[in-house]
């Protein structure tokens, strides 16, 4: 193994892409670093083997994280790489205790796509359920932690909804 895994400029570009966007997929890292696909895969593997990166498999895609990102944060950030899941979480952070029809209206997602993401978010504990009359409602489970994490890593997401939340959050929680 090499003495310095970041000695190669190409590898540093890929590593920097992952640090800027925790949870990034291989193709995103490739585009961000401006490298060929085979070259990207090779260097992601070397960075993972060296311990500088962690690879988390999520269904059909691997997500990459700098080693200093804690496991709990990696799970949330991996889910937040999906625009649909991020839109859903942001809708619940803005207004909690929403029903499926309300979430369809506030996110613009179809009921089917919403169902898929709600299930994944509930499995990881990011979303919990409640009741309002005969309707099942959904709530962002650990609201403050989720907001803090999204704020801390917001540069990894190009998202106007997230920027609006960050502005609101910053106003409410000024030090």
pLDDT at 175 over 50: no
Asked whether 80 and 33 are in contact (CB, 8 A), the reply is no
Q: Report all structural domains of the chain as residue ranges with CATH numbers, in order of start.
A: 9-68 (1.10.10.10), 70-175 (1.10.10.10)
What residues contact residue 110 under an 8 Å CB cut-off, 6+ apart? 104
pLDDT at 158: 59
User: What average pLDDT does range 3-25 have in this prediction?
Assistant: 92
Mean pLDDT of all residues in 101-118: 93
Rounded distance between C-alpha atoms, residue 15 and residue 119, angstroms: 32
The gap between the terminal CA atoms of the chain, to the nearest Å, is 45
Mean pLDDT for the stretch of residues 36-59: 93
CB atoms within 10 A of CB 125: 12
- Indicate the pLDDT class of residue 111, thresholds 50, 70 and 90: very high
């Amino acid at each position: 193994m090499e003495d310095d895994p970041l000695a190669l400029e190409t590898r540093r570009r890929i590593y920097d892409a992952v640090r800027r966007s925790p949870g990034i997929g291989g193709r995103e890292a490739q585009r961000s670093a401006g490298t060929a696909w085979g070259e990207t895969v090779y260097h992601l593997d070397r960075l993972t083997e060296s311990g500088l990166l962690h690879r988390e498999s999520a269904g059909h895609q691997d997500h990459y994280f700098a080693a200093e990102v804690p496991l709990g944060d990696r799970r949330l950030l991996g889910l937040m790489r999906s625009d649909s899941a991020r839109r859903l979480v942001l809708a619940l952070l803005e207004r909690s205790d929403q029903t499926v029809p309300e979430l369809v209206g506030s996110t613009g997602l179809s009921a089917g796509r919403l169902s898929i993401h709600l299930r994944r978010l509930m499995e990881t504990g990011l979303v919990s359920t409640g009741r309002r009359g005969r309707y099942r409602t959904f709530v962002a489970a650990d609201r403050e932690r989720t907001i803090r994490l999204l704020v801390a890593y917001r540069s990894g997401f190009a998202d106007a909804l997230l920027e609006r939340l960050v502005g609101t959050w910053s106003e409410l929680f000024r030090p």
